[in-house]
Structure 1
């Protein structure tokens, strides 16, 4: 018997990162995630890419990672600045864990349009 897709449009819908299956995050929820990244001592980094290349290309870094940043408003302002500069791009926030040398958190804040 062939496989039948019982998940609706799951296979045709592009999902991004950890929160990709949830409704878009509110501004307060994004701030909570930024606060969590900072509270963990992780380094916030912002990346962007055009939606056509999001699954098969490296994402471009917006400035350098914000080493030692403890100001939530500064990170949020840079997310907005990246989105204004590239309104048609996906913009994601990544929390780099210096101790384990990996990403502790990563999620798309703004989704671009194709």
Structure 2
């Protein structure tokens, strides 16, 4: 069995769950609930697909400090997607205690990526 390197290089895997199929809306909701239940703060970032590996991603507004409603986080993701329909969008859970990212994953990829 040999690895097709051309196929491997063209498949873009991003962040924690990059090797899995795209999440359904329910699975994204469950991940948001997980972030909130850990006491972490949600933040949304977006970037043009061509630049996802080149530099830091742009932040959508400020992190949602203290937000406990998963639907509010989903609404912000939808607003970001409306403003940047051709960008990759990821959700991050910031851990205040360790002062680092506790969780992150892509919630939206444009078609063809």
TM-score for both structures, normalised by structure 1: 0.91
User: For structure 2, which runs of at least 5 residues remain unmatched after alignment?
Assistant: none
Checking the alignment, whether the CA contact within 8 Å between 1:50 and 1:112 is kept in structure 2 is no
CA distance in 2, matches of 1:102, 1:79: 21
Deviation at 1:7, TM superposition (A): 3.0
What is residue 21 of structure 2 aligned with on the other side? 23
Instruction: Encode CA deviations 1:44-90: one digit per residue, 9 max, x unaligned.
Output: 00000000111002100000000000000000000011001000000
CA distance in 2, matches of 1:95, 1:75: 11
Q: CA RMSD in A?
A: 1.4
CA distance in 2, matches of 1:19, 1:7: 21
User: For structure 1, which runs of at least 5 residues remain unmatched after alignment?
Assistant: none
Q: Specify which of 3, 13, 30 is matched with residue 7 of structure 1.
A: 3
For the pair shown, which has the larger CA radius of gyration, 1 or 2? 1
What is residue 103 of structure 2 aligned with on the other side? 105
What is residue 46 of structure 1 aligned with on the other side? 44
How does 1:48-87 map onto structure 2 within 5 Å?
A: 48-87=46-85
